[in-house]
Amino acid sequence: MVENYAILPCNGLDKCAGVISREIAIKLCANASNKIICPVHSRIAEAKYNKIVNEHALLVIDGCQTRCASKLAAEKNLKISRKITVTEEAKNHHIELKNDLNLLENENNLIEIILNGLNNAENKAATVSDELQYSYKFTYTTFQNGKFIFRVPSNPEIYFNENDCWAWVIGNRARIGVTDFVQQNLSDILYFTPPEIDAEVDQFGEAGEIESSKSVFELISPVSGKVIAINDTLVTKPDFINENPYELGWVAEIELTDFKSDKELLIGFDQYFEIMKKKVEELNG
């Protein structure tokens, strides 16, 4: 069950997705332990919600990818614990949203699906944890540009794609994550969306998303396979990715389905280190 959350919906009343996000927030507040934050009122009377945000975890409901509610949370320095985007959920469940602002059958179905998904994920969250305790020593080589230091592990079991993601391959499993290039560019990471447990991921497919106030980064999986574990600590401590994106900040574990083929489009430390240096130099002119 979704309980003890402060709920910040987008409340964009001129769009169907906004109306849906408002409706979901209201339905979640049928449970008295959840409290709603009105995004409009909070702009002019922030103090009214101080107690609520201090005593509850924050659930943000964005209507569309403009992410007004997320941006408001970032602006007010609120730490997001959970987040959904209505248009993404609609897409995932093949529900087409119309421009109509009235909630009809389609929209009500989507609301039910989202509410069930939120409640199920909440029940499941406690059971998902990293069962594999790797005792492994990462060996880093660093590159400095101005005040920024970029580490890259040079262990031979760690592969990279040119999209700045890594895979540490052990037998038929791989742990995946982003490199220092990503976390330095995003700056303070505020939110992490893990991939779904049991989801099948293609090579170069999306395997989670991380977000800072500056930008959104989709983790582009270096390998294909099934998601068997996620680093659920990142849901509450996404800043672990800033601290060390290879160890504390790993994202997920994948059971590999075709690593031999995936390997064709992966590179090792030597190549990635050079590519990353070039990218850093280009970005900094």
Partner 1 sequence: MSETTFMGVERDKIDWKPTIDYTKCDYCMECVKFCPHKVFELRETEEIKLIIRNANNCVVFCRACSKICGPDALSFPDKNTTTQRIKDIRKEESHG
Site string for partner 1, 214-243 (x = CB under 8 A): -xxxx-x-----------------------
CB of 76 to partner 1, least distance (A): 20
Answer yes or no: are the C-beta atoms of 42 and 52 closer than 8 Å. Answer: no
Calpha distance 177→280 (Å, rounded):
19
Answer yes or no: are the C-beta atoms of 214 and 265 closer than 8 Å. Answer: no
Chosen residue from 41, 265, 270, 274 binding partner 1 by CB under 8 A: 265
Q: Which is nearer to partner 1, 218 or 239 (CB)?
A: 218
Is 282 near partner 1 (CB under 8 A)?
yes
Chosen residue from 95, 106, 125, 205 binding partner 1 by CB under 8 A: 205
Residue corresponding to tokens 């529900």: 95
Calpha distance 206→13 (Å, rounded):
30
Q: Which is nearer to partner 1, 198 or 282 (CB)?
A: 282
206-212 and 148-153 beta bridge pairing: unpaired
Is 196 near partner 1 (CB under 8 A)?
no
Chosen residue from 202, 239, 247, 255 binding partner 1 by CB under 8 A: 202
Residues for the chain: how many in total?
285
Query: In this structure, what token pair is assigned to residue 213?
Result: 């106030």
Amino acid found at 170: I
Amino acid found at 222: P
Q: Which is nearer to partner 1, 236 or 261 (CB)?
A: 261
Q: Is the dihedral of CA 66, 87, 8, 125 positive or negative?
A: negative
Site string for partner 1, 44-73 (x = CB under 8 A): --------------------xxxx------
Residue corresponding to tokens 């080589």: 141
Stretch that binds partner 1, among 116-124, 133-141, 143-151, 158-166 (CB under 8 A): 158-166
Which residues contact partner 1 by CB under 8 A? 64-67, 87, 91, 161-163, 202-206, 209, 215-218, 220, 264-265, 267, 279, 282-283
